[in-house]
A and B are shown apart, each in its own frame.
Chain A
């Protein structure tokens, strides 16, 4: 499905996404007249680069700044300071109307399979939305059917409404919509955390498959380490707005360097620890004890 014409003009070689010292502060509501309003540093001085074709994972507990970082990368929010480039083009200092190119280059898959599809729109219109929004009218009908089939749905799904589908199917629709403008980068924000365990693997495999088939760069955000391990080449761990560790997936899982990464890994329940009769409390205490300074 890759378009050779586009590959030829795929821009200068270099990272798909590059962040240089990106921070995003949020000003809280003033609590008193005499003190300045408190500031929340959601993302602090993050620098990283994601290579073309790479599958990059971001893990961290809730509140660690994953979603804020994602919003910045997608050009939905602007950093307080720092520079952000997608495919070598600046995003950090551009007004929304100058980011139209980004809307076809980079697409999102969301967490909530219910909330990310407009309940009043037919699947046909949902999937075609990026095309219509970018002024493409011709051939949308065929493209929607192609895409639906590509993500494992039948063509007659196009005329139905989101609530007529299961959570897993809705995520498939979401993936189809993301693929519609033929993006280079796919950003998935907790794509399976709202799904039943039984359909998680299917959706993950689908993402895996389209990233492969469409030659995409993937940025996957999850709080579930096993998901990241399953899909990603390289992983970063976020804590309180900072990247505490960036490492190839296997290295991170087998030889984590940062204590926080270790505690995260230790918190993943596995059969061995469960059988050894240790409780969650023991685990937490043990991890803290083991963590070197």
Chain B
């Protein structure tokens, strides 16, 4: 899990202070490209950054040993000892939230990774190959798109048993069409440009054009799609865990916590409220981040 989490900050630089990295070639004097970060991007970026930090912190410090049954009273409401209370199994809720953030990010990352690694090349292929092959790719894509991500994930979980791994791969597969679609539409625009004609007449192969021209020029679109899909993946993971098809008992997951809290919804509502709020906040964060990123990148796309 640790290697996946080290990958998480890779998303960070796009929105955080490192936004300069993406803006480097664009933020040039006199070109009028320097634009203020919009509120969506700032708020969304901060939430995303906060979740990443929570997950990272959980590796070095948690208020109580994670996933351990403690010699304390169950169903405690938030207090000085346990900031967010304890659950039925006498576990510390804050600790579970922290450790659960890892699961959330890990699932989002793998799901989005699977979707992008498969979807982006498919989209480029569909845009670059004329005629039946492109049609075949896109029609197949449409069929897959017709399945709600969650339904597909439930099917996979039913087939292969519920586990975090099955859940995230299923979510990833269900997200492929979104990536293929957005990539294709961007790639079609690139393929119609004169610099592609120039590259062809310079002797570039199709693969060379895809790598040197199409991919860099659709990267912005893909990054935006990734952050929006991340939010969907988080929600899907929580839903699967809640349905008992995702992360199994004994592992921290916000969806899992929600599931376990439902029997005591009246007597200990905070056990449902806390993970519920965490899920809602992170989905909101990634959505805002994606929207902000889109707005931030868009004028540049037009300005070409």
Instruction: Please report A residues at the B interface, Cβ cutoff 8 Å.
Output: 74-76, 100, 103-104, 106-108, 110-112, 114-121, 129-130, 133-134, 161, 163-164, 174, 177, 181
Tell me whether B34 is interfacial, beta carbon within 8 Å.
Answer: no
A129 to chain B, nearest CB (A): 5
B216 to chain A, nearest CB (A): 4
Residue of A nearest to B24 (CB): A161
CB within 8 A of A107: which of B194, B201, B216, B304? B201
Interface size, B (range): 20 to 34
Residue of B nearest to A107 (CB): B201
Tell me whether B208 is interfacial, beta carbon within 8 Å.
Answer: yes
Q: Assuming the A-B contacts A119-B217, A129-B204, A134-B203, are A161 and B195 also in contact, with contact meaning beta carbons closer than 8 angstroms in the complex? A: no
Residue of A nearest to B29 (CB): A164
Residues 177-226 (chain B) with a chain A CB within 8 angstroms? 193-195, 197-205, 208, 212-213, 216-217
Please state if B195 and A118 are interface contacts (CB–CB under 8 Å). yes
CB within 8 A of B202: which of A103, A112, A120, A121? A103
Contact residues in A for B199 (Cβ distance below 8 Å): 118, 129, 133
Contact residues in A for B143 (Cβ distance below 8 Å): none
29 cross-chain CB contacts under 8 A? A74-B201, A75-B201, A76-B201, A103-B201, A107-B201, A108-B198, A110-B197, A110-B198, A112-B194, A114-B304, A115-B304, A116-B195, A116-B197, A118-B193, A118-B216, A119-B217, A121-B212, A121-B216, A129-B199, A129-B204, A129-B212, A130-B202, A130-B203, A133-B202, A133-B203, A163-B28, A163-B304, A177-B202, A181-B202
Contact residues in A for B250 (Cβ distance below 8 Å): none
Please state if B25 and A116 are interface contacts (CB–CB under 8 Å). no
Residues 214-242 (chain B) with a chain A CB within 8 angstroms? 216-217
Residue of B nearest to A106 (CB): B201
Contact residues in B for A134 (Cβ distance below 8 Å): 202-203
| A292 and B202 alpha carbons, distance in the complex (Å) | 46
Contact residues in A for B197 (Cβ distance below 8 Å): 76, 108, 110, 116
Please state if A120 and B216 are interface contacts (CB–CB under 8 Å). yes
A189 to chain B, nearest CB (A): 9
Please state if B202 and A115 are interface contacts (CB–CB under 8 Å). no
Tell me whether B60 is interfacial, beta carbon within 8 Å.
Answer: no
Tell me whether B131 is interfacial, beta carbon within 8 Å.
Answer: no
CB within 8 A of B31: which of A111, A116, A164? A164
Contact residues in A for B205 (Cβ distance below 8 Å): 133
Contact residues in B for A111 (Cβ distance below 8 Å): 194
Instruction: Please report B residues at the A interface, Cβ cutoff 8 Å.
Output: 25, 28, 30-31, 33, 193-195, 197-205, 208, 212-213, 216-217, 303-304
A26 to chain B, nearest CB (A): 13
| A261 and B203 alpha carbons, distance in the complex (Å) | 36
Please state if A116 and B202 are interface contacts (CB–CB under 8 Å). no
Residue of B nearest to A130 (CB): B202
A167 to chain B, nearest CB (A): 13
Contacts A115-B195, A164-B30 aside, 20 further interface pairs with beta carbons under 8 A come to A76-B197, A76-B201, A103-B203, A107-B202, A108-B198, A110-B194, A115-B194, A116-B194, A118-B216, A118-B217, A120-B216, A120-B217, A121-B213, A129-B202, A130-B202, A133-B199, A134-B202, A161-B28, A163-B304, A174-B198
| A164 and B201 alpha carbons, distance in the complex (Å) | 25
Please state if A100 and B203 are interface contacts (CB–CB under 8 Å). yes
CB within 8 A of B213: which of A75, A108, A118, A174? A118
B40 to chain A, nearest CB (A): 25
| A108 and B201 alpha carbons, distance in the complex (Å) | 7
Residue of B nearest to A189 (CB): B194
CB within 8 A of A161: which of B25, B204, B212? B25
B214 to chain A, nearest CB (A): 10
| A134 and B195 alpha carbons, distance in the complex (Å) | 17
| A164 and B29 alpha carbons, distance in the complex (Å) | 9
| A119 and B212 alpha carbons, distance in the complex (Å) | 11
| A120 and B198 alpha carbons, distance in the complex (Å) | 15
A242 to chain B, nearest CB (A): 25
Contact residues in B for A174 (Cβ distance below 8 Å): 198
Please state if A177 and B198 are interface contacts (CB–CB under 8 Å). yes
B121 to chain A, nearest CB (A): 18
Residue of B nearest to A71 (CB): B197
A78 to chain B, nearest CB (A): 13
Contact residues in B for A106 (Cβ distance below 8 Å): 201
| A181 and B33 alpha carbons, distance in the complex (Å) | 33
| A254 and B230 alpha carbons, distance in the complex (Å) | 69
Please state if A133 and B217 are interface contacts (CB–CB under 8 Å). no
Contact residues in A for B201 (Cβ distance below 8 Å): 74-76, 103, 106-108
